[in-house]
Structure formats: C-alpha cells, structure tokens
Chains A and B, each alone.
Chain A
Amino acid sequence: MVGIVLISHSSGLAAGAAELVGQIAAGARVVPAGGTDDGRLGTSTELIAAAIAAADTGDGVLLVPDMGSSVLSALALLADLDPESSGKRVRLADAPFVEGAVAAAVAASGGLDLTAVASAAEEARDVRKL
C-alpha cells in the first residue's frame, strides 16, 4: 500500500490531520511529520525522512505538505533521496493539505498505485465544497 506523509509546520496540525484521515480512509498508512525536532513550529527534514521510512511498505510514499517551508523541506529531501537510484519512489503532491490527504489516503487504502494516489490528491484542488 502506498504510504502518505503529512508535512506541516505544526505537529498538532499534522497529527490531527492524520487522525482525521485515518477515520475517513480506514486502513490507510498515514504518518504525520509536523514541527521541528524540538517541537516548535517549523519543519524538519530529519522528521520527514523518518516519517517516509515509517510510511514506506515498498509501494511508494506520497508527501502532502501544507505550504512554504514544508514544500521546500520536502523538495530538499527529495533531491537528497535521489528516488531513482535508491529504488524508493517518493512523490510530492501539489494539493490542499487536508483535502489532498483525505483523497490520497482513500485512494491508497483502495489499493491504487503511487501515480493514481498522487492524482487523487491533486484532483482535490478542483473539487468544490459548496
């Protein structure tokens, strides 16, 4: 199953989003990576890397960032990971944080592959609520 990593400046936001996603997409593998190493607001490439390792069951991992340095940290990490040579498949979703996470986790728990899970997250940009 494709794993999902939720990257936020806030550990509470990442953890809460993961909890919500787990309720809607039962069975999904969702790992929060929020805040800095010492629990402040910010992002940590170490925490993100650990979350990727925890989320990865061999079918790939989708990163869902909130904004700003979450995106930059994820990009920096992706550059370091060099997904091709390491054999891991890690992708970064360009999607709204909560909605993208829910859509991705539902798709992942339904057994879809990383490309389809990433598409599900990114389709969240265009879905109206009202």
Chain B
Amino acid sequence: MSANSEARHAIDAVVRVVVLPKHLHARPAGQLAQLAARHPSTAIELVAGQRRANARSVLAVMGLGAVTGTEVLVSAAGPGAAVAVYEICRILAAPETED
C-alpha cells in the first residue's frame, strides 16, 4: 500500500495500525501533535486499548500511556488524510529515541 498513491486519489478517511517499537514518549508525542497542527482541517485520532486521543493534543497523546508493543490505531478524516496517517505512522514506527 502506497501512501503517495492514496494521496493522489484524495481519499478522505484512512485507518492504519502500528505496533509501537518504543514507548510513546514526550518527544514523539510532540512530533505527532506538531504534525497534526499542520493538518488543521483533518481530524486525526489515535486509539490505544480503551483510550483515545486527538493527535493535536500532545498531553492527550502522552496520556495514552502507550508502551512498546502496543497496537495503536491511527485514523484520519479530511483533506490529506492519507498523507497525515502516513506521516504519523512513520513517527510511531521510528526506532527508539533518547528520552
């Protein structure tokens, strides 16, 4: 599945699941929220277990308490949804950072 081809076809709602290779720490949470802020017309949500977070809220994303191995469902609806989900999954799937 190519996120780029999805983007070209302007899909409006996209869902993907990522298994975290690291805890969802403060720094990646900040990166997610910064990215979500660049998609103001797109609703982006993360679900981990029983918890949900608007990707725009760095504190809510941290509050997911998502640890290594957690399945995180990423969904986006609106313009550029495929690109947003692709970028968010790339941050979530990136290897461990130093924090």
Contact = CB atoms under 8 A, between A and B. Distances in A.
Contacts of A27: 34
B58 A123 contact: no
For the residues of B in contact with A, the DSSP-based class is helix
B59 A112 contact: no
Interface stretch (A4-12, A18-26, A37-45): A18-26
Given A23-B99, A25-B34, A106-B30, A130 B59 contact: no
- Interface range, B side: 20 to 34
B57 A123 contact: yes
Contacts of A102: 26, 30, 58-59
Given A23-B99, A129-B63, A103 B57 contact: yes
Contact of A109 (B26, B34, B40): B34
Interface string B26-40: 110111011111101
Per CB-CB distance, the 8 closest pairs between chain A and chain B, nearest first, are A110-B37, A24-B30, A127-B59, A106-B58, A106-B33, A110-B34, A24-B26, A25-B30
Interface of A: 23-27, 99, 102-103, 106-107, 109-112, 120, 123-124, 127-130
